């Protein structure tokens, strides 16, 4: 299936729940073409069925992928190139919150936090930078207020987000020369599987983030920026 040349092409990773689930829908309803990816194939099928039934203006493709397995992320980029010939924006919404401590038994949780919250994004950046030919191109990641604050049990999660923030700021300075732009956004607290008691619904946070992402893409300058864009909510 070939996408119209005027339609923005999104890869949304982590589209099976929370922010990613709602962002994928928002982009399709706004007329974009979206490749939605995540671990849970049943949730991806439900997302596809929901948008098909709603007769959304854009198009939705689904592809199961595990951010802890770089080969599946490479396959996602291959699928996008085969279908569209390029990508305009990657939205990395995969995240995991695993209560952590400094006990040896908690080491697996630390690794899972960093693999999901940081390394998956890095793998996608390297794939996009080396394989996707079109420019400009945008890669979006999300941070959290827990990056600098939070209880002791959120240390692994918070540090993984701190690393992600530093990575985006530094790597954007390098890749902006090639018109590859990295951005980090903070959606603020919202109701999710990680934060079920929050009063702010995920759809409200995702609408604000969708607006911010469209603005970043639309405002992309001819000359690369000197520093990464950062939006706080």
Tens of pLDDT along 126-183? 999 999 998 899 999 999 877 777 666 788 888 999 999 999 999 999 999 999 999 9
- Give the 3-state secondary structure of residue 195: coil
Instruction: Give the strand order in the sheet containing 9-13.
Output: 59-64, 33-38, 9-13, 89-92, 137-142, 180-186, 229-232
Phi, psi of 194 (to 5 degrees): -80, -25
Rounded to whole angstroms, the Cα distance separating 100 from 109 reads 6
Q: Whole-structure pTM over 0.75, yes or no?
A: yes
Q: How confident is the model at residue 83 (pLDDT cuts 50, 70, 90)?
A: very high
9-232 to CATH, choices 3.30.470.10, 1.20.1250.20, 3.30.70.2660, 3.40.50.720: 3.40.50.720
């Amino acid at each position: 299936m070939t996408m119209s040349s005027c339609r923005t092409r999104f890869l949304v990773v982590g589209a099976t729940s929370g922010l990613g689930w709602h962002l994928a829908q928002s982009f399709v309803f706004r007329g974009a073409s979206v490749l939605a990816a995540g671990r849970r194939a049943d949730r991806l099928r439900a997302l596809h069925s929901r948008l098909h039934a709603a007769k959304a203006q854009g198009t939705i493709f689904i592809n199961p992928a595990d951010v802890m397995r770089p080969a599946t992320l490479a396959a996602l980029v291959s699928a996008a190139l085969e279908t569209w010939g390029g990508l305009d924006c990657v939205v990395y919404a995969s995240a995991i919150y695993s209560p952590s401590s400094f006990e040896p038994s908690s080491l697996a949780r630390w690794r899972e936090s960093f693999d999901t919250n940081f390394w998956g994004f890095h793998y996608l950046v390297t794939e996009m930078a080396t394989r996707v030919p079109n420019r400009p191109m945008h890669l979006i990641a999300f941070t959290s207020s827990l990056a600098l604050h939070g209880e002791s049990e959120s240390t692994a999660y918070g540090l993984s987000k701190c690393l992600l923030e530093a990575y985006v700021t530094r790597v954007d300075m390098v890749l902006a020369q090639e018109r590859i732009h990295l951005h980090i956004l903070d959606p603020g607290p919202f109701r999710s599987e990680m934060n079920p008691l929050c009063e702010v619904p995920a759809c409200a946070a995702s609408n604000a983030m969708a607006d911010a992402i469209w603005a970043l893409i639309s405002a992309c300058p001819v000359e690369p920026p000197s520093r990464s864009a950062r939006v706080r909510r």
